[in-house]
């Protein structure tokens, strides 16, 4: 598969996804919006799109001139039947393209917290199997997406917030959290967004986040299985 990804900030790249794609013989191209020379491909040249996270909001078009262009591209890819996977901000951008709204989350979540499957999650057995044991995953977000209308449904929630993931179709899936996390990408996020670590109920201290490295392996295993089912 020809997999293209959209990256918004230098410290939120593919993480675990990159070596997985290479090991499974997929080709990788990218658009890095933080670079002046970014280019967006023709949709005919890609089979799948991954939209990464970032510190900006989906409605910050006045601050980031490329945001509207990006949303048009994501929407076009979905309409054309391309495979589209969104992570954090990426999932929020996808939700907007599907007609949903984005709101400030009830609780800002940063750190290691479990996610639980919803009743509707059982509609897609392979996803339910991945999350039935309520795995601990890595969160870093302050906004949340509304579930897109029509055929979409929420398949995960956490103690802090509902709507942790949405399923639009086998090709189109949005995740609010970071299963692609590696020790390196987690450290980059702490270095570049550590000012967000406030003393709130669902924001862990840096030390506690670093103590959660044991959860990375589980996150990556789940990510690999999602990629396998999404790209097959």
Which segments in the chain show pLDDT lower than 50?
none
The confidence score (pLDDT) of residue 205 equals 97
Distance of CA 152 to the CA centre of its chain: 16
- pLDDT at residue number 1: 97
- Residues 51-64 have pLDDT tens digits of 999 999 999 999 99
Domain range enclosing 163: 2-231
Mind listing the pLDDT tens digit for each residue in 195-225?
999 999 999 999 999 999 999 999 999 999 9
Q: Give how many domains the chain has, as a whole number.
A: 1
Q: How far apart are alpha carbons 5 and 217 in whole angstroms?
A: 23
CATH assignment at residue 75 = 3.40.50.880
C-alpha dist (Å) from residue 47 to 62, 95, 216: 30, 20, 28
| CA 110/CA 11 separation, integer angstroms | 16
pLDDT score recorded for residue 150: 80
Model pTM? Answer: 0.97
């Amino acid at each position: 598969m020809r997999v293209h990804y959209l990256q918004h900030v230098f410290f939120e790249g593919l993480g675990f996804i990159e070596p997985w794609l290479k090991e499974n013989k997929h080709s990788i191209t990218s658009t890095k919006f933080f670079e002046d020379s970014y280019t967006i491909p023709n949709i005919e040249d890609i089979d799948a799109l991954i939209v990464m996270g970032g510190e900006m909001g989906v409605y910050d078009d006045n601050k980031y001139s490329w945001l509207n262009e990006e949303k048009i591209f994501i929407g076009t890819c979905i309409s054309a039947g391309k495979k589209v996977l969104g992570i954090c901000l990426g999932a929020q951008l996808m939700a907007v393209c599907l007609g949903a709204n984005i709101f400030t989350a009830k609780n800002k979540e940063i750190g290691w917290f479990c996610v639980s499957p919803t009743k509707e999650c059982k509609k897609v057995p392979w996803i339910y199997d991945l999350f039935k044991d309520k795995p601990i995953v890595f969160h870093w977000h302050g906004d949340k997406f509304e579930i897109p209308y029509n055929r979409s449904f929420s398949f995960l929630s956490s103690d802090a917030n509902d709507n942790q993931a949405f399923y639009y179709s086998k090709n189109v899936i949005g995740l609010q959290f970071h299963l692609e996390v590696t020790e390196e990408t987690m450290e980059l996020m702490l270095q570049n967004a550590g000012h967000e670590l406030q003393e709130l109920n669902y924001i862990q201290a840096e030390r506690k986040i670093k103590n959660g490295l044991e959860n990375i392996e589980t996150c990556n295993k789940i990510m690999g299985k999602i990629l396998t089912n999404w790209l097959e």
